[in-house]
Structure 1
Amino acid sequence: MSQTLEAQHRVPERMAGLRLDQAAAELFADFSRERLKSWIKSGALTLDGQPAKPKDKVYGGEALALAAEIEDDTRFEPEDIPLTVVYEDEAVLVIDKPPGLVVHPAAGNPDGTLLNALLHHAPGLAAIPRAGIVHRLDKDTSGLMVVAKTLPAQTALVEQLQARSVSREYDAVVVGVMTAGGTVDAPIGRHPRDRKRQAVNASGKPAVTHYRVVERFRAHTHVRCKLETGRTHQIRVHMAHVRYPLIGDPVYGGRLKLPAGADDQLKEILREFPRQALHARKLAFVHPESGERMAFRAPLPDDLLMLLDFLREDGETMR
């Protein structure tokens, strides 16, 4: 089974000087660079209505148009993994992802992922690139994700993400007591020495995170973060950059800090907390078909509720 994919993007001025295949890889981010190259070579992906070569330069303002047949993706098996469905219709699916669930198969995680679960829940997603997944959450981050169920819906949601019109808000619990909220405007790119990590990097992509204080504790803060951009590990990197790393973050959290005078139970919870304390609580976007602005909220999961309860009790005990 196959579907015809039609999508268009205009090359932004900032991409002037890039090769066509490089620009296409960023604008049509749901497809691999090799697949995009093959479409350019076959004429399925055109530049200003004309066939082109992958190495041709772009200068900004050109129209890239894609018209290609997409075969069902049979590389991944459907798996009966429970999903918490918050909303579903013919075009979109909104889920509340639990912590510990990998979003997409990769080396070390060939199955047991959200993608496998989606293929079982809605078999038609086999005809959509990445089973309709248009954005990701880290394995140990919980909360809301939107999935496209049709090719036009996927194109529309990707365009909204690129235009920064999708609203995403997160709850986080960080180490340290914040005096006030603020904004972190610092580009993020690959860490210069550790390729598995991200870092604030002058040569990285623009990244903006707004945060505000929800509740202060004796040595920690519950904060609410709103993303303008969606870089890999963005909140984790930005909070660590301003010296308020997330509790439980194994990559960016640094050395464990225990509050002086905390009881043994709180110390054990802080030592053993199994993941970064981060939850995607709110998601809003324009429905690809109806044009209606839709907003969804996901309550804090039990592990974060328990963590906050113990932090409150610690403050009360020390008064």
Structure 2
Amino acid sequence: MTNNISNNPMNDTTKNNHADKTNVTSDIEPLVQESAAADDNCGDYDESLDDDHNDELLDDEDEALDNDDEQVAPQSIPEIINITHTVADNEAGLRIDKLAALIFTDFSRAQLQGWITDGSLLHNGEIQKSKQRVKADDVLHLSTTLQQHSEDMPENIAIDVVYEDDAVLVIDKPVGMVVHPGAGNQTGTLVNALLYHYPQQHHLPRAGLVHRIDKDTSGLLLIGKTKPAQMALMEQLKDKSVYRHYQCVVAGDQAALARHRRIDAPIGRHRNQRTKMTVMTAGRDAVTHLLDITPLNDNYCLLDVGLETGRTHQIRVHLSHITYPIVGDRVYGGRRQLRAGLTEAQRQAIGSFPRQALHAYALGFVHPTTGEDIEVTTPVPEDMQQLIAVLSEGYDVE
């Protein structure tokens, strides 16, 4: 169910190496992520689910969707790994860690490094340092036990699959669904749904999730169906060969927004309000691109936004920082969402919009198995379409 790429506006710097894409669209509703009430859980978070970030990634704005679920207990049998490899002539001279990454491809480099250190991965029956070089006919032996990554329960919750093959899954996540179980949100999440529809995902960290978005942000999420695929996609996210494009409705005029095409401002956790993020000099690098600016009226625009980095709530924080917040953003928007010249219908539409008007509409990546450039797109949901229609009523775009 794939077609040639549509003519979505994509910035060349963020679509690097993605000239010929596969474009997939869907009418089915997406699955959402976490809630502003939970610790670490509040906004347009989109970051690789890297092993180094597990703690900060698990609890970002999670809240449950509805669940008429039949719960099925997950399998709890650990997987025993016992693999021996004899070094070939063409592998001689490689470091143990480099060779291990080449031959034990089902596991991450971080896992392999840990197993070398703790003695699960032996060189000629002995613990060696990662930098030790091997010789022909040396023996590497990996012996360990893989426990299940979580006790998350499968739940029969509908999900909108917009792209799928043997290695990759892309889900269109609706507003209101949390991505991963966390404090106060143990059920009704996308992970619970994935474990029901794809039971084999239970052996993967985060059920194969590569990145995530907030509960009240709608749109596309990338999932690996195998460990090598998940790890390869996470590496792509780190080296910026995955691109993510969003559409959002903001309070700001076209000329003013055009002065902020590239927002480069580090983001860290707010010192006093721990569920919020803020721009701060001690924060992590964060770069957001305003790719296309479409006026809806004199004081509101529809933006096409590209992420160069993926920090917690990045788009929301950056747009608030330049004083042009996303409509409906209760955490970072405030009264600045209401601008002059609004009709009563427009004022009501803005005041009553129940979530940040932010949608992850395009996702591009290199297929981890075939090497093909893939792009998946999905239209903005109905609530944003209605908001856009009200704000642009009677306004002629030149």
The interval holding the TM-score normalised by the smaller chain is: 0.7 to 0.9
In the other structure, the counterpart of 1:178 is 254
Name which one, 1 or 2, has greater alpha-carbon Rg.
2
How far apart are 1:51 and its partner, in Å? Answer: 5.2
1:126 pairs, out of 194, 202, 210, with 202
Pairwise CA RMSD of aligned residues? 2.8
1:288 counterpart (362, 365, 368): 368
The offset of 1:175, in angstroms, is 0.9
Equivalent in 267, 274, 284 of residue 205 of structure 1 = 284
5 Å-filtered alignment, 1:117-196, equals 117-179=193-255, 180=258, 182-196=261-275
Q: Give the deviation of 1:73 after TM superposition.
A: 3.7
Instruction: Quote the Cα distance in structure 1 between the aligned partners of 2:280 and 2:119.
Output: 37
Structure 2: give runs of 5+ residues left out of the alignment: 1-76, 84-96, 99-108, 131-141
- Report the equivalent of 2:328: 248
C-alpha contact 1:5 1:70 (8 A) present in aligned 2: no
Distance 2:120 2:364 in 1: 33
Q: Deviations over 1:182-232 (max 9, x none)?
A: 100111111121111111111111111110343112221111110111111
The answer as to 2:291 corresponding to 1:215 is no
> 5 Å matches for 1:45-124?
50=128, 69-73=145-149, 75-124=151-200
Q: Is the 8 A contact 1:103 1:138 kept in 2?
A: yes
Q: Give the counterpart letter for 2:358 in structure 1.
A: L
Q: Distance in 2 between matches of 1:242 and 1:223?
A: 14
Worse overlay, 209-218 or 243-252 = 209-218
Shift of 1:71: 2.8
Q: Which amino acid aligns with 1:148?
A: G
What stretches of structure 1 of length at least 5 have no aligned partner?
10-26, 53-65
Name which of 324, 342, 356 aligns with 1:276.
356
Matches of 2:82 and 2:191, distance apart in 1: 20
Q: Which amino acid aligns with 2:206?
A: R
Question: How many Å apart are 1:38 and its aligned residue?
Answer: 7.8
**Deviating more after overlay: 173-182 vs 160-169:** 173-182
Supply the distance in 1 between the matched residues of 2:158 and 2:240 (Cα, whole angstroms).
30
Aligned equivalents of 2:310, 2:82: Cα separation in 1: 25
- The DSSP-based 3-state class of the residue aligned with 1:310 is helix
1:255 counterpart SS class: helix
Task: Show the counterpart of 1:13.
Answer: none
Residue 3 (structure 1) shift: 7.4
Q: Is contact 1:4–1:68 with CA below 8 Å preserved after alignment?
A: yes
Q: Which amino acid in the other structure matches residue 91 of structure 1?
A: A
The structure whose residues are more often strand, as a share, is 1
- Which one-letter code corresponds to 1:78 in the other structure? P
Deviations 1:52-96 (A, max 9, x none): 9xxxxxxxxxxxxx9864333451111111111001111110011
Q: Distance in 2 between matches of 1:68 and 1:231?
A: 34
Distance 1:314 1:243, change over 3 A: farther
Secondary structure in 1 matching 2:159 = coil
Aligned to 1:308: 388
Distance 1:142 1:5 in 2: 42
Structure 1, 208-217 or 128-137: larger mean CA deviation: 208-217
For residue 57 of structure 2, what is the aligned residue in structure 1? Answer: none
After superposition, give the CA deviation of every residue in 1:108-163 in whole Å (9 maximum; x if it has no partner). 11110010011111000001011001101010001111101110011101111111
Q: 1:238 aligns with which of 292, 297, 318?
A: 318
Structure of greater relative contact order (alpha carbons < 8 Å, 6+ residues apart): 2
* Aligned-pair identity (%): 48
Q: Are residues 296 and 68 of structure 1, via their aligned partners in 2, closer, same or farther at CA, if it must alter by over 3 Å?
A: farther
1:250 Cα deviation after fit = 1.3
- State the alpha-carbon separation in 1 of the partners of residues 237 and 286 from structure 2: 13
Q: CA separation in 1, counterparts of 2:357 and 2:117?
A: 46
Pick closer, same or farther for the CA change 1:257–1:228 going to 2, 3 Å: closer
Question: Is contact 1:266-1:314 (8 Å) kept?
Answer: no
How far 1:50 sits from its partner (Å)?
3.8
Distance of 1:85 and 1:312 partners within structure 2 = 31
Measured at CA, do residues 44 and 138 of structure 1 come closer, stay the same or move farther in structure 2, by a change above 3 Å? farther
Q: Assess if the C-alpha contact under 8 Å between 1:171 and 1:223 holds in 2.
A: yes
> Using the alignment, how far apart are the partners of 1:72 and 1:110 within structure 2?
17
Tell me how far 1:178 sits from its aligned partner: 2.9
How many Å separate the matches in 1 of 2:303 and 2:152?
A: 37
Q: CA deviation at 1:164?
A: 1.1
Q: CA offset at residue 246 of structure 1?
A: 0.5
SS state at 2:393 partner: helix
How many equivalent pairs are there? Answer: 277
